[in-house]
Chains A and B, each alone.
Chain A
Amino acid sequence: MGPYGGTETENTERFYVSERFSHPSTERLEAFVEEALDGADRAVVDSHLTRCSDCQAEVAELRTLFAALGDLPELEPSAGFADRVMERVRVRQPVLAAASAWLDRVTPQSTRGWAAAAAVFALPVIGTTVLVAWLLAQPGVSAQGLWTFGTALVGDAVVVGAQWVWTQLSSSTLAVWAAQAAEVVGTAGAGQVGLALVMFATLTAGSIYVLYQNLFRPQQQRRIEHASYVI
């Protein structure tokens, strides 16, 4: 039941019938000129127009305005516009671009994708939890015993790993250089050590500046809002 007592269809028909005798609104005539009315709507306005010279004149005026606005030319920026833009655009090297594209491909693009990735990464945790629970359920296995066994196992692995790393480092050229550098520093005077520290600080500051220019600064220019996504 519609607001005027009839069904929605009946009310629509009444509206159309009444429009044959009263003038359509300007919005409706604009929609007519835009060809945005559907078949039935269009027929009603068409039928009114055949009998109403005022509305015919209004439609003609709207058509003229639409045509005049549509005829306005697109304007062109001055020569060299593209060059001026490109001077400030960062075009990445193809290798970096490929690396970034690969990262984009492997990075989940939707909530569902992230959920799947999280599930994959959660599998080892879930597996370990299930294993521990199962072990604790076995007769003769206590939590304290399992903890002692587990920490001993991890401790052994850490010690073996650390020994391997130490062996590798101590036999490397890097270790020889480090020993030589320590010897030089040990025998150097305060002035030499100071000079070395100043050089080190200068190089560090230079590196930080270069990193800032190349990695972080362009991103600050990217505060761009998208319709429903923010860059």
Chain B
Amino acid sequence: MVDYEELSDKDVIAQAREGRESAFRELIRRYERPVFSVIYRMVRDRELSEDLAQDTFIKVLNALDKYDPSYKFSSWIFKIAHNTTVDHLRKKKPETLSLEGSPHARTQEQAEATSFTPVDTSGSPEYYAESQEIGSEIEAAIGELRPEYREAIVLWHVEGRPYDEIAEIMDLPLGTVKTYIHRGRNELRKKLEHLR
């Protein structure tokens, strides 16, 4: 029995290439949340995010043989998530997005089923309520950013990816990524002014 916790991404990929299903599942376990989070914050629709995240993983895992280990696996999977999401958004004009659920929802049940309430359960009940409120405000403000600013901001601030990796993921020059993040922060500061 292989203890995957101890292995690097590259070692897990080597195991997957040998035909071990458990190694594939380990890669999903490691990346399902980061990939899903980034996609969700780009499209703001739970069902759609699940579909796009699923497509991302299927593409990545079926192409592991072609993965070049000299590149970071995280860059690769985020890049494929980016391409999958951008392809989808290009096919469909982005709409004003809401934390209250999918813009396609016709009933309250559908809206609830597609919505998200970011929850941080750490700390006191007061902290929980406050952080939930601030978190929702920030999520809403992020949702109003231009998609390219939104993605760059989420990758840098939430996923902790360095600038050069974001440039690789978004296929943009480094300077453009820095500009997007700077402009995104400025817009967020303006949108969140009332919380000061």
- Interface set of A (CB-CB < 8 Å, partner B): 26-27, 30, 61-62, 65-66, 68-78, 81-82, 84-86, 88-94, 96-98, 100-101, 104, 218, 221-222, 224-229, 231
Q: Is the CB of B182 within 8 A of A78?
A: no
B187 to chain A, nearest CB (A): 11
Q: Is the CB of B19 within 8 A of A81?
A: no
A31 to chain B, nearest CB (A): 9
Q: Is the CB of B50 within 8 A of A78?
A: yes
Q: Is the CB of A226 within 8 A of B36?
A: no
Closest 3 CB pairs of A and B: A69-B157, A97-B19, A94-B19
The complex places the Cα of A222 from the Cα of B67 at a distance, in Å, of: 11
Q: Is the CB of A85 within 8 A of B157?
A: no
Which chain B residues border A82 with CB–CB below 8 Å? 25, 28-29, 32
Q: From B19, B32, B116, give the contact of A91 (CB < 8 A).
A: B19
Q: From B28, B34, B120, B178, give the contact of A85 (CB < 8 A).
A: B28
A176 to chain B, nearest CB (A): 41
Interface majority SS (helix, strand, loop, mixed), chain B: helix
A69 to chain B, nearest CB (A): 4
Which chain B residues border A70 with CB–CB below 8 Å? 157-158
Q: Is the CB of A224 within 8 A of B63?
A: yes
Mark out the residues of chain B between 1 and 53 whose CB falls within 8 Å of any chain A CB in the assembled complex.
16-21, 24-25, 28-29, 32-34, 36-37, 40, 46, 49-50, 53
Known contacts A224-B83, A227-B71; decide if A97 and B18 are in contact (CB<8 Å).
Answer: yes
**B152-166 toward A: CB 8 Å interface, digit per residue (1/0)?**
010001100000000
Known contacts A69-B157, A71-B120, A81-B54; decide if A224 and B188 are in contact (CB<8 Å).
Answer: no
Which chain B residues border A218 with CB–CB below 8 Å? 62
A168 to chain B, nearest CB (A): 38
Q: Is the CB of A227 within 8 A of B168?
A: yes
Which chain B residues border A90 with CB–CB below 8 Å? 62
Which chain A residues border B135 with CB–CB below 8 Å? 68, 71-73
- Interface set of B (CB-CB < 8 Å, partner A): 16-21, 24-25, 28-29, 32-34, 36-37, 40, 46, 49-50, 53-54, 57-63, 65-66, 68, 71, 75-76, 79-80, 83, 116, 118-120, 131, 134-135, 138-139, 153, 157-158, 168-169, 171, 178, 182, 185-186, 188-189, 192, 196
Q: Is the CB of A85 within 8 A of B80?
A: no
Instruction: Name the residue of chain B whose CB is nearest to the CB of A36.
Output: B163
- 26 A–B pairs (Cβ distance < 8 Å), ordered by A: A65-B185, A65-B189, A65-B192, A66-B157, A68-B138, A69-B153, A71-B120, A72-B139, A73-B120, A75-B118, A76-B36, A77-B33, A82-B29, A85-B57, A85-B61, A86-B21, A86-B24, A88-B58, A91-B16, A93-B19, A100-B65, A221-B58, A221-B62, A222-B59, A226-B76, A226-B79
